[in-house]
Chain A
Amino acid sequence: MTLLKKAIMVSTAIFLLLTFFVLIPDISSGEDKEVAYLSLGDYTGPTASVVSFVDMAIEDYAKFVNDKGGVNGVKIKFIGVDTRYDIARAVAAYKKYALTPRLLGMNSNNSNVARILEPMIKRNPMPVLVPAEGTFAVNIGYNFLPGQCYQNFFGAAVDWIVNDWKTKGKNGMPTVGAISWDSPAARDYLRGGLEYAKKIGINLLEPESLPPGTLDHTTYLTRLKSADYIYITGLVEPGQTNIIRDAHRLGITTKTQFICDFLGPIMGLGLKTHAQALQGALIQTISLAGTDFFAHPLVKEIWTKYRKKPVNEAVRPYGLGLAIALNYEAALKIALRDVGYDKINGETMYRAYQKLEGKETTQGLQGPCAYSLNSRLGSREIRWNQVKGEAIVPVSGWIKAPDAVSMYKW
């Protein structure tokens, strides 16, 4: 055999060996079994007050599960990236971590990031948590909401308002104002919300939109001062508290009931400072809030063990993070049962998420899970809470929100 022929044979053998070890997915030997969860978090920036606590909870719950040996021996690796509210950072981080072995879930934390990554997710599928925009609720795909969507929140507020109006023995329909940040995501509640309001028949004033970072809300509140109820949505704290603070200063809170969405006032984050202004404000949530949140056994156990602080220093988004982690764990159990560790991947996890419908996966932190073949809502239920004294107390159980999102022509 000539030298060249020998060289080609040997090089082909080397090439095939390299290909086998580099490209073939590793087959578990049964040790160090691990799956991963990636969060493109904003730990610095406008949404940090929510996202950082959500991710703390997911990280802590992963440790909690791993400390007990994992899910059927499979440990959860939490990968949290501070994307600093920068889309380029977020997308670059996704590319960096996308090929993490057995990456079975991701939180985009940002609607624009979720949209940009959609084509990539279709090529490397896995369930992706997204913000509460209606388009993600109605377009059944790989995007999953942690709870309800903005328009159904608004619909629930409309229902509450009308019930309250009638309970007070008033005639006709109430006048309702609404105020949000001036961004497509924050105004999303109107896509379906307007239609629902019209159907119910409330007198909805022209919704107000204000630039993020507005320090004085006098102009916007003055235009809404005839409202019996004002709904605030799509602003993270302290935005909603600041609006009510200014309304109190203007004397509007004496005659107008303020209603905040799930991003509203949080015990431990400024509520004490503005407690007088916030008195009576209603807050709708997708997870336990206030006194119920602090009393939840899992919140107490996980927060005190892994944050090493008293539970009264925990904040509501931490409970939502635990709910997200519990849903991931529940889906993982299903996926492992269905296909086993060696065959588990993002697609099998995606199918597993859709088998969670009706299950009490979150130990009461949320209502029953609603993920199914036809639903991307974490739960259909919301809960009402109210500021009383320096606390937020629940004033309802889990209530199913109306399907306002379906009324919009998407």
Chain B
Amino acid sequence: MGIKIRSAELFLSIFIAVSILIGLSWSYAAELVVTPDKTVLSPMLLKQPLMLSGSGWKPNEMVIVNLIPPQGVNIKGVDQGEDVGIALGNANAEGLFKVPIGAMPILMTFFQVDWDSATMKPNFKKATPLPPGAYDLEAVGFESNIKAKTTLTLVPPPDKK
């Protein structure tokens, strides 16, 4: 009986300690949305960019959105499995933010173009586009470290008839 009480005390102690730690690191419920959340990877994304929007951040803080590559997907310039920044914006006074995924991330991370230094233009001939699949996007508040996730699905291009 004494041993059971001591075990219970230890379990309860650890539970309370962990709860306090989790509580300290969590003070907002943030949300991230990508619109549209399914798309073909095409040059149209340069003209009609994907939009990222979110809520629940610290007022006026910078928010960075990272793409988390799935297992087996290599992204140029980073180590295997490493996150890559694809957008950044500032939350407004209400903690809301809205930002497009700009041309450079689309070219450099999604299409993974090479660069033709002779013409100073992207080189699509050596591009290795991200393959179709589901990609987690994670937004992080620069100061608060508040995080929120969503999923962008790259769908295969339609079959040419």
| Chain A residues within 8 Å of B, Cβ to Cβ | 3, 6-8, 10-12, 14-15, 18, 43-46, 48-49, 81-93, 95-96, 116, 120, 212-213, 215, 237-239
Contact = CB atoms under 8 A, between A and B. Distances in A.
A89 B105 contact: yes
B17 A18 contact: yes
Top 7 nearest A-B pairs by Cβ distance? A92-B85, A82-B77, A213-B120, A10-B13, A11-B16, A84-B108, A11-B17
Contact of B115 (A8, A14, A46, A93): A46
B9 A44 contact: no
B105 A86 contact: yes
A119 B83 CA distance: 23
B27 interface: no
A46 B5 CA distance: 68
A3 B16 CA distance: 13
Given A91-B85, A92-B85, A43 B77 contact: yes
A95 B140 contact: yes
21 contacts: A11-B12, A14-B13, A14-B14, A15-B20, A15-B21, A18-B21, A44-B77, A48-B115, A49-B117, A82-B76, A82-B77, A84-B104, A84-B108, A84-B109, A87-B88, A87-B104, A88-B87, A89-B84, A89-B105, A90-B85, A238-B117
Contacts of B114: 44
Interface of chain B, main secondary structure = mixed
Interface of chain A, main secondary structure = helix
Given A91-B62, A91-B64, 9 more contacts: A44-B77, A44-B114, A46-B115, A46-B120, A84-B109, A87-B88, A89-B105, A92-B88, A213-B120
Contacts of B86: 88-89
Contact of A14 (B17, B65, B105): B17
A8 B10 CA distance: 10
Contacts of A96: 83
B77 A84 contact: yes
A88 B109 CA distance: 11
B14 A238 contact: no
A18 B19 CA distance: 13
B50 to A, nearest CB: 13
A84 B10 CA distance: 51
B71 interface: no
Interface string B97-109: 0000010110011
Nearest to A123: B143
B1 interface: no
A85 B121 CA distance: 12
Contacts of B62: 91, 116
A220 to B, nearest CB: 15
Interface of B: 5, 8-10, 12-17, 20-21, 62, 64-66, 76-78, 83-88, 102, 104-105, 108-109, 114-115, 117-121, 140, 142
Contact of B12 (A3, A83, A91): A3
B133 to A, nearest CB: 21
Contacts of B88: 87-88, 91-92, 116
Nearest to A119: B62
A212 B121 CA distance: 8
User: For A6, A88, A213, which residue has the most chain B Cβ atoms within 10 angstroms?
Assistant: A88
Contacts of A46: 115, 117, 120
A12 B21 CA distance: 11
B14 A92 contact: no
Given A3-B8, A85-B104, A92 B83 contact: yes
B77 A213 contact: no
Contacts of A45: 108, 115
Contacts of A7: 9, 12-13, 16
Given A86-B105, A95-B140, A213-B120, A44 B21 contact: no
A217 B108 CA distance: 27
A8 B21 CA distance: 14
A99 to B, nearest CB: 11
Contacts of B85: 86, 88-93
A84 B76 CA distance: 9
Contacts of A48: 115, 117
A92 B85 CA distance: 5
A86 B76 contact: no
A49 B85 CA distance: 23
A95 B64 contact: yes
B144 to A, nearest CB: 12
Contact of B64 (A3, A82, A92, A238): A92
Contacts of A88: 64-65, 85-88, 102, 104-105
A84 B117 CA distance: 13
Given A15-B17, A46-B115, A48-B117, A3 B77 contact: no
Contacts of B5: 3
A15 B21 CA distance: 8
